Amino acid sequence: MHDRDPLEGEYQTPDSQAPQPQRDTRRTGGWGTLAAGVAVIVAKFKTLLLVLLQAKWLFFGAKLLGTSWTFLLSLWFYALAFGWQLGIVLALALLAHELGHYYAYKGYGLAVRAPVFVPFMGAFTAGAIAPDLEQDAYIALAGPVTGLALAFVCYAFGVATHEAFWYACADLSAFLNLFNMIPVLPFDGGRVIGAVWPPLWIVGVALFVVAAIYLHVPIFLIVVIALMGIPAMLAVFRGSPDPRAAAMTFAARARVSVWYLATTLALIAILGGAHAHLPATSTGA
């Protein structure tokens, strides 16, 4: 056992390890806006909801949410900041991603905690360290793969209904997960590439810098990401590789590489397809 569970994306080696408040009318207004948004979604998209309710994983997800108040907190903040519609879509995209990690940990029989959501910072899932580096890579990939599935479903509904809303949902989910596939820590892509060949992190650093400049990522977020990823990468380059890497065969590295490339290319395809169907004012064209 380990002294602590690592955070999602953290590159680890196996041996490292009240009273009822007075009602605030301003808060009531915020919750009212969110409740109204949920009601509209239920009314407008009841067919999709009925389909999803038949999926067994959704019931597990609902049970999980009962212990994850941070999801509801993030949902509230996103709704206030971006409007109820975009806020709900963003929160659900993050939820799908984290549930992918959560059930991957469960699938490998590893201890895992409920996902934690941090408003405007994303989310993370803490779980035990996988004894096999290939398993660790697949746990990292599970989030983007689940996000890819969500993007594909939304894109399919866009094709069927010709509604820009569904293309926007696909666009957002694909973008968030594609960004997370950048091959540098602490992103999932960095964790995957760490199982294939860590020197590729150098390419990931360059890609992240370009993406951060293009997307105007706030400097404080860049600093936080750097503080989370740089120490672990430096440890590897200084001659402290993950001991699990010795057990990674060429075939195992090839399998992980194929999954990484396939997921990345599929996300790019859906992102491009969805973006092309959005109004010019939404795409910035």
In a domain, 164, yes or no: yes
Distance in angstroms (rounded) separating the CA atoms of residues 189 and 212? 16
The whole-number pLDDT of residue 56 equals 53
The whole-number pLDDT of residue 157 equals 94
Whole-number Cα distances in Å, 87 to 40, 82, 209, 227, 251: 14, 6, 27, 28, 42
Q: Rounded to two decimals, what is the model's pTM?
A: 0.74
- Over residues 110-155, the pLDDT tens digits come to 999 989 998 888 898 999 999 999 999 999 999 999 999 999 999 9
Query: Are the CB atoms for 146 and 28 separated by under 8 Å?
Result: no
In a domain, 18, yes or no: no
Query: Are the CB atoms for 139 and 105 separated by under 8 Å?
Result: yes
For the chain, how many structural domains are there in total? 1
Residue 22 has pLDDT above 60, yes or no: no
Instruction: Tell me which residue of 2, 1, 13 sits closest to 235, measured CA to CA.
Output: 13
With a pLDDT cut of 90, the percent of the chain lying above it is 48
- Over residues 69-106, the pLDDT tens digits come to 888 888 899 999 888 888 999 999 999 999 999 999 99
In a domain, 13, yes or no: no
In a domain, 3, yes or no: no
The whole-number pLDDT of residue 137 equals 96
Residue 15 has pLDDT above 80, yes or no: no
Distance in angstroms (rounded) separating the CA atoms of residues 174 and 144? 9
In a domain, 12, yes or no: no
Residue 58 CA from chain centroid, whole number: 17
In a domain, 43, yes or no: yes
Instruction: Tell me which residue of 179, 197, 208 sits closest to 137, measured CA to CA.
Output: 197
In a domain, 1, yes or no: no
**Residues in the chain, total:** 285
Whole-number Cα distances in Å, 275 to 84, 158, 208, 210: 21, 11, 21, 20
In a domain, 252, yes or no: yes
- Over residues 223-235, the pLDDT tens digits come to 888 888 888 888 8
C-alpha distance across the termini of the chain, in Å: 53
Distance in angstroms (rounded) separating the CA atoms of residues 212 and 221? 10
Domain housing 258:
25-283
- Over residues 256-275, the pLDDT tens digits come to 999 999 999 999 999 999 98
Distance in angstroms (rounded) separating the CA atoms of residues 233 and 242? 11
- Over residues 183-203, the pLDDT tens digits come to 999 999 999 999 999 889 988
